[in-house]
Structure 1
């Protein structure tokens, strides 16, 4: 076998057939007769109230919890009766707080499953470096670190890398981003979307956060108690046509604004902005700002990442050094971020714009408030037209029913 580590395995279909879990002493099953088909290469989100059985259902797919009844098929193969340890090595698994082994380095954590399945040393080393690069961590910098030396977001990235290490077609994720701060969570969500564009795995993802479900899911399974499926559909369909009051409760108010989670920054206009770097002489920066025709300029660090916004007054007060001049860039978005992420970033910034960055955090452009508000107005207008059309259909249906009843009454009178 070649000692290269190119990721080749795309997603696999998953079928759950009458999947059930009963625990001794409990008269009701925790998961009751769940059937579902998940397509190869799609992200399916399980969302529901606490205790509804969503995590139990997820863990039965790789048999961390053994089913009491029913069948699980991955790519048509019934995995209910095969060795569960072998099954788990073929199914990636990522959990909240990463679950990394504290006594192992980052590289050792990622290499765990490839080592178990018998990969050679060179192949494992190449794979570790490939995956660290894939999740946006410099292999040279992070290879030998221990989990305690990482931030929460970095630990989660390593956790995802470890889950992908043996190139499994299926990735199970149990509230993987639930323990990190909101800004880090947004960036991790964007990273997962970007990874999925490259890898096309089948991902089953558990969350209690409906906004996260809308942002990440190709389809969402809204689960009631005992994992009964209330609705299993696309985010658009659930937002616009919730199946019942239970699903409506998850959608909540402001469905039109929630639809901002369905549109990505890459789908709107990203404008260029005048930039300079920290290595540029102060006079060159001043000239660039003067010639740009704008009131501010974006200062990039040595790696081309957004660092500070500089205004004319900042440069006048700089006195030969930019150390204390300008306003630090506190938030950025990627092209895979949602318009809701971008809108939140813009609203927290008095200047009404946010820098867009690439995979390594490098500057690629800017999205401003006007662009975002135009998108909001388009969504609201689309919702208004859809509501009018729905109302028109209802009125036509009522008129047809009234006409039919009148025709019926006329016939009875003649008789």
Structure 2
């Protein structure tokens, strides 16, 4: 097993198989897959297709019946499975935290088992809480029952990362939280991966989630047979067959909004005021700001309220009664789809963009998002025209060869399926 710490390790599955006694068919049948070091690979497929079984065989929570597993080039199929699990992070749905342990004790579980000194464990616990966006002083001594679902999942990810493993396995980790929290947790995972460069294998049944977080996606059929293993963009634009097309579903062009991040488009500045600013200063900002509205920030610099001209007058100069609360924000790692949903939900044509601690960094507006959608649709149209042109050239070449008596063009085959 490669040393823990630093970047991820490659994973190779070779003819991996799982048969359960009494079953006519294997649960997982002869799966081979190569995952690059530092890559996020998502296994997606219908319920019962064997994706979770495949994942659990990687750290041997389920023992393979046949085949090999290599990490960092080393065969781990026959080594001590308990030792292997301590070197592979594992995060599951509903976090799986021990209810009788505090947050800090849950995170420290594996480092304590492998004999880290107390000072190192304490420092690592605080580092990880900060990394997943939870204040160490506030959450260190809490119990799982005192946390929201999203906070529990953050602690679950921190626990999986505690011993700094090169590989992180995630089995539908965000499946039990509400959609808004789920979006934020996905963004947090993307941000963490930018910093940590782990090898992540992620199981989900949600294709939109797979598009959002995966460097590559393995679409699995029954018994984990691989229908297509490719980048999200390749699967969206060129699904291998009808089974994969069914997973992509309608609106492939709009699903491509999940491939573009907020950081990839123009983030504009916006007039802001602080909650402790004098009222006259806020009035002046509204009057000379060149806009009908300012964004009120709280004492930590986080978006709090949108203030329009007249709000303060109607509320008789009281910030407590003035303006409209900011209901949703997006991070730079959010997708354009997240941003578009936030803009449409807020119904005001813009959404505030925040940093890792929720601090204001800018605004994305509807015009920017619509321009991005237009560019994607135009790109799809041009790709379709180019594909049609290639088919016409192939058909013309085949017709010419037949007329010359050549008997067809070698390798063209069924043109209707060429993509």
TM-score, L = length of structure 2: 0.95
Question: What is the match of residue 81 of structure 2?
Answer: 84
Answer whether contact 2:350 2:363 (CA < 8 A) is retained: yes
Give the match's secondary structure for 1:402: helix
TM-score, L = length of structure 1: 0.96
1:129 aligns with 2:123: no
Answer whether contact 2:102 2:141 (CA < 8 A) is retained: yes
1:201 aligns with 2:170: no
Which residue, out of 310, 314, 325, partners 2:311? 314
Distance in 2 (alpha carbons) for counterparts of 1:125 and 1:252: 47
Question: What is the match of residue 400 of structure 1?
Answer: 397
Which residue, out of 84, 98, 102, partners 1:105? 102
Distance in 2 (alpha carbons) for counterparts of 1:197 and 1:40: 14
Q: 1:409 to 1:359 in 2, by over 3 A?
A: closer
Q: How does 1:124-203 map to 2 (within 5 A)?
A: 124-203=121-200
Question: What is the match of residue 280 of structure 1?
Answer: 277
1:255 aligns with 2:220: no
Gaps of 5+ in 2: 408-419
Distance in 2 (alpha carbons) for counterparts of 1:263 and 1:350: 22
Q: Per-residue deviation at 1:8?
A: 4.2
Q: 1:19 to 1:409 in 2, by over 3 A?
A: closer
Distance in 2 (alpha carbons) for counterparts of 1:313 and 1:181: 35
Give the match's secondary structure for 1:99: coil
CA displacement 1:105-145 (0-9 Å, x = unmatched): 00000000000000000000000000000000000000000
**Aligned residue pairs, count:** 404
**Greater Cα shift, 273-282 or 399-408:** 399-408
Q: Per-residue deviation at 1:9?
A: 2.0
Give the match's secondary structure for 1:408: coil
Q: Per-residue deviation at 1:353?
A: 0.2
Which residue, out of 54, 58, 65, partners 2:55? 58
Q: How does 1:317-356 map to 2 (within 5 A)?
A: 317-356=314-353
Alpha-carbon RMSD across the aligned residues, in angstroms, is 1.0
Which residue, out of 27, 43, 46, partners 2:24? 27
Give the match's secondary structure for 2:277: coil
Distance in 2 (alpha carbons) for counterparts of 1:409 and 1:32: 43
Give the match's secondary structure for 2:294: strand
Distance in 2 (alpha carbons) for counterparts of 1:375 and 1:92: 37
Question: What is the match of residue 412 of structure 2?
Answer: none
Answer whether contact 2:169 2:200 (CA < 8 A) is retained: yes
Question: What is the match of residue 237 of structure 1?
Answer: 234
Distance in 1 (alpha carbons) for counterparts of 2:50 and 2:28: 6
Q: Per-residue deviation at 1:320?
A: 3.1
Answer whether contact 2:220 2:227 (CA < 8 A) is retained: yes
CA displacement 1:1-58 (0-9 Å, x = unmatched): xxxxxx9421000000000000000010000000000000000000000000000000
Question: What is the match of residue 3 of structure 1?
Answer: none
Gaps of 5+ in 1: 1-6, 411-415
